Amino acid sequence: MKTSRAVVMLISFLLLFSFPHVISMEKKELRVAIYFSTIKRYARDIEECVNYSWVKGNVEYVIKARIIGKDEVMNGNLSNYDAFIISASGRSYMDAYNPVWRENVKKFIRQGGGYIGICGGANVVSMGFNESIISPNEIFDLSTLKIVNVYVNDQQDEEWQYLWKSNWQYGGVPVKIHILNSSIPIFDGFYGEYRSIRYWGGPGMYDAHLNGSYGNVIPLAVYGEEPSEVAPLHYWRFEHGRWVPLRNITTDIKGQYAVVASFYGNGRLVIFGPHPEANTFFDGHVREFPVRNTRFTWFIYDWVTNNSSVVSYNWWMVRRSIAWVCGLERNEMPYISEIAGYVKEPKYGIYMNGRKVYPAQNAVVIGSFILHAQIIDANNGEIKVDGRKIYEGNGDISIDMNLSPGKHAVYVMAENEHERAWSSIQIYSL
């Protein structure tokens, strides 16, 4: 009896010191609200980017993301979260006219909430556009929250054209940003380097130097290239039976801030002009073409290349921004990695026997299809459909599927020794 008890005590002692994380792992959740725009994909792209957890020391940090709408902001529910993200959302310009919406967002940040703004989400918290010309931006100026002491350079006939003329996700051009040395740990290890990042007409930012109770503006990166030089676009006119370039579209944001950090009351903010949640490209060229081959049309553009990054190439920027605005210290930052569990297709469309026939906000399949997924930068991972594991491994994955009619949940998870990333989508089978 004494011998058995001694063996048990010895095993317990060895377990305690061999696997301390089993006994003493602490868990910290970072609750993140992602603002829903009129296009569901924009919020979902951010959600996929930030579904992530990491371990530092004896602490597991978990980002718990949830997509919210206008009602939650109006009802004061931002207090349920640690950080608030607004990305490529035209809706936020409109919602910000409402004084209750404005005050609830400002109050959330002032009282210690974190904020991340991407593209339009950067414009919304800025001092506005500061333009001397008559422009639709004068209307947007009225909705800016004026809590980050920068003006935005984002003119309708210049930078915005890289949004208006974009051929949906096939547009957006790769622009290099130059990462600056700073006291903010988000870009630790990349100071002085250039990093390719996708651009869809977002702002260049510059100091407003306005007096008031504004926190310091800390530049984190500047545009190292001019979008109109990387991807020349034009205004066109119909002349003598054919379309000819009328004049160039010229941007002027090179050297201006692409990413800044700031403070408002007890809150922290990070705002991006370009889009770290999207993949980017390492070469290629822009292609302009008419939507219809008639004189009653308009021109849009693609970026043409066979050399693109993985979708999660810059996701660490968003994950580390969340950690910083939520108050974590340098030694608690997420890892700089590309880890991701990601569904490529079917997604955002109606599919007939595996072929996408029409874009949509959800994934709708008719007949059989191939599930294309990726488990990136991971030692292992898994795919589940309706809770049943159908794949274990990593890399690029293609699985023939034929689902019964109804709604089905697909979950993809990737993990390594210190990190885990995941995504889930709903597939509607008819």
Query: For position 221, which CATH number holds?
Result: 3.40.50.880
Q: Are residues 291 and 402 in the same domain?
A: no
Assign 3-class secondary structure to 102-168: HHHHHHHHHCCCEEEEECHHHHHHCCCCCCCCCCCHHHHHCCCCCCCCEEEECCCCCCCHHHHCECH
Cα–Cα dist 95/5, whole Å: 67
CA distances (Å), origin 190, targets 43, 194, 235, 305, 351: 28, 8, 37, 26, 42
Last residue of a domain, one of 303, 338, 373: 338
At residue 187, φ and ψ (nearest 5 deg) are: -105, 20
| pTM listed for this prediction | 0.92
Query: Exposed, middle or buried: residue 234 (CB in 10 Å: 0-12, 13-18, 19+)?
Result: middle
Cα–Cα dist 18/15, whole Å: 5
Q: Are residues 322 and 395 in the same domain?
A: no
Query: Is-contact 286 233, C-beta < 8 A?
Result: yes
Q: Are residues 313 and 203 in the same domain?
A: yes
Structural domain for 226, as ranges: 24-338
12 within some domain: no
Cα–Cα dist 406/402, whole Å: 12
Q: Indicate whether 403 pLDDT > 60.
A: yes
**Chain-wide mean pLDDT for the chain?**
92
By DSSP bridging, strand 173-179 and strand 285-290 are unpaired
Q: Are residues 406 and 324 in the same domain?
A: no
Q: Indicate whether 346 pLDDT > 80.
A: yes
Tally of structural domains, the chain:
2
Q: Are residues 288 and 371 in the same domain?
A: no
Cα–Cα dist 281/290, whole Å: 23
C-beta atoms surrounding 355 within 10 Å: 11
Q: Are residues 234 and 112 in the same domain?
A: yes
Query: Exposed, middle or buried: residue 207 (CB in 10 Å: 0-12, 13-18, 19+)?
Result: middle
Give the confidence band of 3 by pLDDT, cuts at 50, 70, 90.
Answer: very low
Residue 259 has what pLDDT?
98
Last residue of a domain, one of 290, 319, 338: 338
| Range scoring the smallest mean pLDDT among 14-18, 285-289, 425-429 | 14-18
As a whole number of Å, the CA-based R_g of the chain is: 24
Q: Indicate whether 95 pLDDT > 70.
A: yes
51 within some domain: yes
Query: For position 382, which CATH number holds?
Result: 2.60.40.10
Tens of pLDDT, residues 315-337: 999 999 999 999 999 999 999 99
Q: Are residues 30 and 113 in the same domain?
A: yes
7 within some domain: no
Beta bridge pairs of residue 341:
375
Tens of pLDDT, residues 117-175: 999 999 999 999 988 777 888 888 888 999 999 999 999 999 999 999 999 888 999 99
Q: Are residues 347 and 253 in the same domain?
A: no
CA distances (Å), origin 180, targets 92, 125, 197, 223: 29, 22, 15, 11
Residue 429 has what pLDDT?
97
Tens of pLDDT, residues 268-291: 999 999 999 999 999 999 999 999
Q: Indicate whether 88 pLDDT > 80.
A: no
Last residue of a domain, one of 338, 362, 396: 338
